[in-house]
């Protein structure tokens, strides 16, 4: 029983990291209705900038964290301008606009974000060519004990951060006027124009915020590991995508539940079947979400505009 509880707890704590990366992806999808494949690579290149500062100039943790967030926002701006702004522009002012995501240009955006993914990853590898690169570490030697259970304090902190961020963002989206306008823009672009919302600006701000969030997520996760490898981008994209899809792309709270569910399933699957089981759990969950019969009745909730 203790082992079961320990695995569940570990899973929940891991799930916090998944929720954080899923959140950024869910927000960009929810506001643009476009899947940003360069999402993981953006976080990775930003993390590499932080790691570079750490390695070359022994920058302190706070400066590394700040650098990663700023870099993620700037790189995100580059990605948005190149992949998404243009495929938006053509539809922004016509009757076709209400049917966001149904214009075929999403394929163009998807393909170009894939190209940018490759580009960003190559840039990162050029910046720091080694496979393992040092990242500041907050890992502690001493574990906390809760009766029979062991908790790593730094991991717990990450999970709490993820939960607080997600629930805070959800409350902001639900209650504030700014949150309402963001949801309105994601819901119906032309209608948002008609009530006088600055749609283009809200979208850019939303995209930038989501990228900054991915920078924060990357920092928080890497601080636990104390290192970053070229696999990080793919990891962020994959885990983020599964977490976000489990909760429904576009949903903020959904990203949290999705991340936690993914964390717990992986943790138990690994205990049962080893590393292979962990990967299996990830894809099995994704598969279940995509084909599950209960989705048929609520297919509109699998993907939707930004909502709490």
Partner 1 sequence: MLEINDLATAYGKIEALKGVSLAAKAGEVTCLLGPNGAGKSTLMLTLTGILKPQRGSVKFDGVELVGRSPAEIVARGLALVPENRLVFPTLTVRENLMAGAYKRRDMAGIRSDIDAMFARFPRLKERTEQFAGTLSGGEQQMLAVARALMSRPRLLLMDEPSVGLAPMVVAEIFAIIRQLHAEGVSIFLVEQNAHMALKVAQHFYLMKQGRISFSGTPGELANDDVIQRAYLGQQRPDERPALPSTAAAPTPSAEPQPQAEATEVAQR
The binding site for partner 1 (CB under 8 A) comprises 93-95, 98, 177, 180-181, 183-184, 187-188, 190-198, 304-305, 307
Name the minimum Å distance from CB 202 to partner 1.
11
Closer residue to partner 1, CB minimum distance, 286 or 302: 302
Name the minimum Å distance from CB 164 to partner 1.
25
Closer residue to partner 1, CB minimum distance, 117 or 182: 182
Helix, strand and coil in the chain, % to nearest 5: 75, 5, 15
Name the minimum Å distance from CB 88 to partner 1.
15
Name the minimum Å distance from CB 94 to partner 1.
7
Neighbouring-strand partners of residue 251: 307
Closer residue to partner 1, CB minimum distance, 25 or 303: 303
* Residue 160 CB coordination number (10 Å): 12
CA dist 218 → 88, 94, 208 (Å):
28, 38, 15
Name the minimum Å distance from CB 304 to partner 1.
7
CA geometry: angle at 67 spanning 63 and 71, to 5°?
175
CA geometry: angle at 242 spanning 278 and 106, to 5°?
145
Closer residue to partner 1, CB minimum distance, 173 or 211: 173
Name the minimum Å distance from CB 103 to partner 1.
15
Alpha-carbon Rg for the chain, nearest whole angstrom, is: 19
Closer residue to partner 1, CB minimum distance, 82 or 92: 92
Taking a C-beta distance cutoff of 8 angstroms, is the pair 255, 247 a contact? Answer: yes
Closer residue to partner 1, CB minimum distance, 141 or 300: 300
* Consecutive H or E run containing 214: helix 199-225
8-state DSSP, 82: I
């Amino acid at each position: 029983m203790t082992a079961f509880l320990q695995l569940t707890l570990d899973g929940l704590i891991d799930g916090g990291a998944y929720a954080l990366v899923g959140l950024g992806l869910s927000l960009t999808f929810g506001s643009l209705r476009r899947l940003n494949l360069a999402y993981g690579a953006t976080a990775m290149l930003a993390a590499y900038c932080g790691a570079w500062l750490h390695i070359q100039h022994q920058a302190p943790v706070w400066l590394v964290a700040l650098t990663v967030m700023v870099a993620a926002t700037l790189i995100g701006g580059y990605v948005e301008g190149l992949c998404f702004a243009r495929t938006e522009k053509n539809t922004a002012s016509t009757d076709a606009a209400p049917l966001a995501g149904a214009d075929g240009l999403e394929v163009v955006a998807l393909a170009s974000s894939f190209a940018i993914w490759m580009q960003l990853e190559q840039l990162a590898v050029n910046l720091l060519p080694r496979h393992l690169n040092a990242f500041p570490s907050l890992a502690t030697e001493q574990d906390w004990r809760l009766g029979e259970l062991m908790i790593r304090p730094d991991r717990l902190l990450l999970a709490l951060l993820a939960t607080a961020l997600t629930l805070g963002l959800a409350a902001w989206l639900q209650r504030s006027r700014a949150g309402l306008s963001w949801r309105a823009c994601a819901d119906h672009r032309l209608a948002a124009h008609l009530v006088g919302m600055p749609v283009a600006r809200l979208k850019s701000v939303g995209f930038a915020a989501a990228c900054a969030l991915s920078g924060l997520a990357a920092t928080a996760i890497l601080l636990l590991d104390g290192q970053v490898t070229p696999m990080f981008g793919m990891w962020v994209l994959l885990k983020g995508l599964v977490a976000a899809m489990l909760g429904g792309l576009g949903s903020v709270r959904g990203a949290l539940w999705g991340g936690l569910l993914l964390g717990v399933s992986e943790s138990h699957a690994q205990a049962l079947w080893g590393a292979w089981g962990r990967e299996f759990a990830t894809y099995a969950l994704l598969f279940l979400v995509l084909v599950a019969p209960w989705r048929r009745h609520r297919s509109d909730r699998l993907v939707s505009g930004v909502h709490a």
